[in-house]
Chains A and B, each alone.
Chain A
Amino acid sequence: MMIHLAMATGFLLILIGFYGALSNRNLLRMIVAFTIADSGVNLVIVAIGYMPGRTAPILDATVKAGDAAARVIDPVPQALVLTAIVIGVGVTALMLAYAYKLYEKKRSLDIAKFTELRG
Chain B
Amino acid sequence: MSLLLTAMTLVLCIAMIVAAFVAILGKSLPIAILAAGLVSLVASVLFVILASPDVAMTEAAIGSGLSTFLFFFVLGRVRGGERDGEDEPGSEHG
Contact = CB atoms under 8 A, between A and B. Distances in A.
SS class, residues of chain A in contact with chain B: helix
SS class, residues of chain B in contact with chain A: helix
A69 B54 CA distance: 19
B81 A107 contact: yes
Given A36-B36, A96-B70, A109 B78 contact: yes
A6 B46 contact: yes
A32 B42 CA distance: 16
B40 to A, nearest CB: 5
B16 to A, nearest CB: 6
Contacts, number: 168
Contacts of A23: 24, 93
Contacts of A6: 9, 13, 46, 50
Interface string B46-88: 1101111111001100110011001101110110111011101
**What is the interface residue range for chain A against chain B?**
35 or more
B78 A100 contact: yes
A84 B81 CA distance: 30
B13 to A, nearest CB: 4
Nearest to A58: B53
Contacts of B40: 35, 39
Contacts of B39: 13, 36, 39
Contacts of A50: 50-52
A76 to B, nearest CB: 12
B46 A43 contact: yes
